[in-house]
Amino acid sequence: MSDEEIKTKDFLYNNRITLDLANKVESYLKGYKWFSVTIIINCCTINLKQTKKEYQLNSNLIIDDAGYGKSSLLNMLYEYNKKHINFLPTKMYALELLKKGSDFFTNKILFHQDLSQGFLGLNKKSLVQLDNFFTGILSDHFYEQLNYKIEARCNAMMAIPKKLFVMQKGNLFQTTLLERITMLKNFDRTEDERKDILEFIDKQPYPPQIKLPINISKIKIDIKENIFNEINKISAEMEDLNIMSATRAKNYISNFLKSNTYINKRKTADIYDLELFKKVYPYHKGTRLTLYEKIKNHILENEKSENPKSDRELIKKINCSFRSFYKYKKLIVTT
């Protein structure tokens, strides 16, 4: 068995439970395997025992084309995890949410199927109050208005159609809120992918049972020091890409790694968790890796390897043509 095969086998084994859950999603929602990985893992950040410095859990704004599975995924997760999940009202007002009291929010994952409907028709004052509510409760786990107060540790998964998000982003969200509800954007589908999904629907099975490993007792997970530099590098890049500040990105990535470690019944987050984050990182940017980026990444990694592969081996691994490979390799060498 080659070093590459051993590395792949180790990755699959150490992420086996997460990938099994994601494969169940894929069995019902074609094309959602890797997109769902982040949602599954970040839901389970509710398990983590954290210091005050790390207080914010991971929440996501799930952005995808209408009709492709956002609501179905949330409904599947809710069906077998009702004890830990509460759906927010379709139409939301900060004061009405406050009146639900702390018990509704404490140690809960909050779901909303269409945030464009939740904010629809609200005046500017109501939008600001709702924005402040979620900013407060997701970051500090505290919010107060009039004679009402909530203290609750929670996170959130909210969905919105891609077109409506693009149209309404400026009106609906303040920058501070989007640092607490991290955008997760599915890729635009090709014509072939849409055709495959339509054919899949004709034989679509019943929704699978997806039981999230959520524990009432909070779990402390450490991170191996040998991956700190890589975490910091990605965190800085996330700030450069205007995804979130580097400090929040580091907390977000660390939570992701720890949660995945817990899901897979390990005690310390390591390279296997980081490699999984790298696989889903493009969804946080909302773009697939271009062929040029794929070739560039493989060539640069190959140069650092103790056992570098031949060009022919790289071409087979990337699954590209000789012409494309050498066209882009020339650009990489000369830049």
Q: What is the CATH number of the domain that holds 90?
A: 3.40.50.300
223-231 long-range contacts, CB within 8 A, separation 24+: 223/254, 223/257, 223/258, 223/268, 223/269, 223/270, 224/268, 224/269, 224/270, 224/271, 226/270, 226/271, 227/257, 227/269, 227/270, 227/271, 227/274, 230/274, 231/257, 231/274
Q: Are residues 182 and 48 in the same domain?
A: yes
Q: How confident is the model at residue 2 (pLDDT cuts 50, 70, 90)?
A: low
pLDDT over 70, % of the chain:
93
Q: Are residues 257 and 151 in the same domain?
A: yes
Using the predicted structure, report yes or no on whether residue 47 has a pLDDT greater than 80: yes
Q: Are residues 269 and 324 in the same domain?
A: no
Q: Identify whether 127 is part of a domain.
A: yes
Q: How confident is the model at residue 335 (pLDDT cuts 50, 70, 90)?
A: very low
Spatial distance between the Cα atoms of 55 and 153, rounded to a whole number of angstroms: 9
User: Nearest CA to 213 among 19, 18, 9?
Assistant: 18
Q: Are residues 172 and 317 in the same domain?
A: no
- Residue where a domain stops, chosen among 270, 285, 300: 285
Q: Identify whether 111 is part of a domain.
A: yes
Q: Are residues 267 and 296 in the same domain?
A: no
Q: Are residues 304 and 175 in the same domain?
A: no
Q: Identify whether 221 is part of a domain.
A: yes
Q: Are residues 126 and 231 in the same domain?
A: yes
- Residue where a domain stops, chosen among 269, 285, 301: 285
Q: Identify whether 33 is part of a domain.
A: yes
Count of structural domains within the chain: 2
Query: According to the model, what pLDDT value does residue 203 have?
Result: 85
Q: Are residues 102 and 122 in the same domain?
A: yes
Query: According to the model, what pLDDT value does residue 175 have?
Result: 54
Spatial distance between the Cα atoms of 137 and 48, rounded to a whole number of angstroms: 17
Q: How confident is the model at residue 173 (pLDDT cuts 50, 70, 90)?
A: low
Q: Are residues 193 and 50 in the same domain?
A: yes
Q: Are residues 239 and 312 in the same domain?
A: no
**What average pLDDT does this structure show over 177-196?**
86
Q: Identify whether 26 is part of a domain.
A: yes
- 244-265: pLDDT as tens digits: 889 999 999 999 999 999 999 9
**What average pLDDT does this structure show over 151-164?**
92
The 3-state DSSP composition of the chain as helix, strand, coil percent (nearest 5) reads: 60, 10, 30
User: Nearest CA to 142 among 183, 112, 174, 98?
Assistant: 98
Q: Are residues 262 and 324 in the same domain?
A: no
Q: Are residues 48 and 93 in the same domain?
A: yes
Q: Identify whether 6 is part of a domain.
A: no
User: In this structure, are residues 56 and 248 in contact, taking their beta carbons and an 8 Å threshold?
Assistant: yes
Average pLDDT, the chain: 88
Query: According to the model, what pLDDT value does residue 20 have?
Result: 97
Domain that holds residue 319: 291-334
Using the predicted structure, report yes or no on whether residue 310 has a pLDDT greater than 60: yes
